[in-house]
Amino acid sequence: MRRHVVLIGVSLFLSAAAGCGGNGSGTPGSAGSSGGGTAGSGGGTAGSGGGTAGTTGSGGATGGGGRGGTGGSGFTNVGVCGWRGKATASTTAFDGYEERFIWGDEGTGDLVCIVRYDFKKVSTAPQAGCTACEGTICTPCEWTHVVEYSNPTVMLDTNGACANSELAFTAAKIQSYVGMRLSIGFVREVAGAHGSAMVTYDTAMQKWGVFGNATFDPANGMFNHDYRDGICLY
């Protein structure tokens, strides 16, 4: 089974994933709300029916690639899985959505699965010490928030690709993300590079790490991010 090949679109920032530290509670890949949200765990293991669940304290976050899941075998199509999202953001607010997707034909074809979640700030303090690092050079976050998943909607599911894939996004798996919370932040021009990034807090590693490319325009508050897990079959 082929797993998680880094694509060109995020190669700049995945190399920066060794973000600087902090402390806190929660487990990567299964970040949950204070009181028990659930989500797919770690690197995203699953059987044919869905991901394993876990709970965390508030402000936990997944590490890069940790919000996925794999399941089953015998798939014949090669796709690319990832996350992407849009929001209106500021130093005090964050209100948007995030999508889990599968892109067909190794990322060059049509989208075959899109599941959208509301992705909004909750009134919990984010993990402190938000930075993204490249080697010994660390760049601080412009803002941080704790955000929560809710209200999942299947936007696209071609021939049942969402569930019938290594992603294993069954109805139960989709629902398992509801209530999951992440500490996220935005870093502009990581280590002086031209690109910017979204970061999340990995509680097992006790540090912030890059979770894909991002843009943020403080003039209008528009925030966008995109992360490709890599190859997944469907």
pLDDT (tens digit, 9 = 90+) per residue, 77-123? 999 999 999 999 999 999 999 999 999 988 888 999 999 999 999 98
pLDDT at site 73:
60
Write the DSSP string, 207-229. EEEEEEEEEEETTTTEEEEEEEE
Does residue 49 belong to any structural domain of this protein? yes
pLDDT at site 233:
94
When computed from its CA atoms, the radius of gyration of the chain, rounded to whole angstroms, is: 16
Does residue 102 belong to any structural domain of this protein? yes
Average pLDDT on 66-71 reads 50
pLDDT at site 42:
36
Contact between residue 130 and residue 22 where contact means Cβ atoms under 8 Å apart: yes
pLDDT at site 155:
98
Does residue 180 belong to any structural domain of this protein? yes
pLDDT at site 67:
55
- The pLDDT tens digits for 121-174 are 998 999 999 999 888 899 999 999 999 999 999 999 999 999 999 999 999 999
Q: For the chain, how many structural domains are there in total?
A: 1
Average pLDDT on 32-52 reads 36
Question: Is the pLDDT reported for residue 232 higher than 50?
Answer: yes
Question: Is the pLDDT reported for residue 47 higher than 80?
Answer: no
Higher per-residue confidence, 68 vs 23 = 68
Does residue 221 belong to any structural domain of this protein? yes
Question: What is the rounded distance in angstroms from the CA atom of residue 226 to the CA atom of residue 98?
Answer: 9
- The pLDDT tens digits for 189-231 are 998 777 899 999 998 888 999 999 999 999 999 999 999 999 9
pLDDT at site 182:
94
Q: For residue 161, what are the contacts with CB-CB under 8 A and spacing of at least 6?
A: 77, 79, 102, 104, 112, 113, 234
Write the DSSP string, 125-191. PPPS--EEEETTEEEE-SEEEEEEEEEEEEEEEGGGTTTSSTT---HHHHHHTTT-EEEEEEESSGG
Question: What is the rounded distance in angstroms from the CA atom of residue 98 to the CA atom of residue 35?
Answer: 23
Q: How far is CA 38 from CA 25, 67, 227, in A?
A: 15, 11, 21
Does residue 187 belong to any structural domain of this protein? yes
Write the DSSP string, 4-65. -PPPGGGHHHHTT----B------TT----TTT-----TTT-EETTEE------TT----TT
pLDDT at site 192:
78
CB neighbours (10 Å) of residue 102? 28
Cα torsion 127, 94, 13, 107 to 10°: value is: 130
In which band, very low, low, confident or very high, does the pLDDT at 25 lie, cut at 50, 70 and 90?
very low
pLDDT at site 89:
98
Does residue 3 belong to any structural domain of this protein? no
For residue 174, the enclosing domain spans: 8-233
In which band, very low, low, confident or very high, does the pLDDT at 32 lie, cut at 50, 70 and 90?
very low
Does residue 1 belong to any structural domain of this protein? no
What number of CA atoms fall less than 13 Å from residue 94's CA on the CB side? 28
pLDDT at site 204:
85
- Kindly report which listed range (14-23, 67-76, 162-171, 201-210) carries the lowest average pLDDT score: 14-23
